[in-house]
Amino acid sequence: MKIVAFWVNLTFVAVISSYAFASPHWSHEEQEEWGTIEDVGKPLPLNYPFADCAIGIHQSPVDLSGIEFDNKINRLKPRYPADMPAFYNSGHAIQVNTSLDYAGYLVIGKERFPLIQFHFHAPSEHVIDGKAFEAELHFVHVRDDGRMAVLGILIEVGEENEMLQTILDHMPQEAGVENTASQIKVNPAKLLPLHRQHFYTYAGSLTTPPCREGINWYVSTEPITVSEAQLLQLKSFHTNNIRYPQPLNGRVIMTNDR
């Protein structure tokens, strides 16, 4: 499993590619208490590793309404070649971890953000005017300097997605298990919408503990489709694995799509 390390609040933290700690235990059902979960045996303030979930003011997800148009937003260029990844059931989501030598990345303006993993939530975490989509896909990118960008793809029921089926068919059913031996090729680009240049963007956080802020969020305005059967199969792994929308607290959601 790929591990990325960076500095957070002067504390060196090792973040597994699922961007969720294995300890202490947390669940989506108890998300209102994430900030008060204690890591017994750690000194103050390290004994509350998820404190940002409670005290952070730029948290994600959000309701993508009340947007402002700006045609000068940096363009996005996903460069996601095929890979032979690992299929990982984190216990919170099904996830695809890219290989250690994977060359895929997201270009934002003139900067590159390497793709380290992508995973699914059902229903969607981001909503529009309070309305959720059937599911949501998050492409997680982390640079060597620790800066992160997440590209969110909303999902609705429609035509079947062949690439999603490949992922579902090779995903371990048991939580905490990673399938690294399948040698199956996955092309993440086939999980992107046809028109990739229109999106919402805002400053946010991880949507699971430790809820780290400073994340550049981009959510495509065009959803992709999966079949009803695929949605049911996706939910057979995890359902309602979402965080509820968080207050904007003065943030502005921008879009380049009229």
> What is the reported pLDDT for 182?
84
Question: Does the domain spanning 57-255 belong to CATH 3.40.190.80?
Answer: no
- pLDDT beneath 70: ranges in the chain: 1-22
Residue pLDDT, tens place only, 18-52: 444 447 999 999 999 999 999 988 888 889 999 99
How far is the C-alpha of 91 from the C-alpha of 238, rounded, in Å? 8
* Structure-token pair, residue 155: 């999902």
Across the chain, the runs of DSSP E, i.e. the strands, are: 3-8, 11-16, 68-69, 76-79, 86-89, 94-97, 105-108, 111-121, 127-128, 131-132, 135-142, 148-157, 177-179, 199-205, 213-220, 224-226, 254-255
pLDDT of residue 256: 95
CA distance 154 to 210: 23
Q: What is the pLDDT of residue 22?
A: 46
DSSP 244: P
Record the pTM. Answer: 0.91
The predicted structure's pLDDT at residue 95? 98
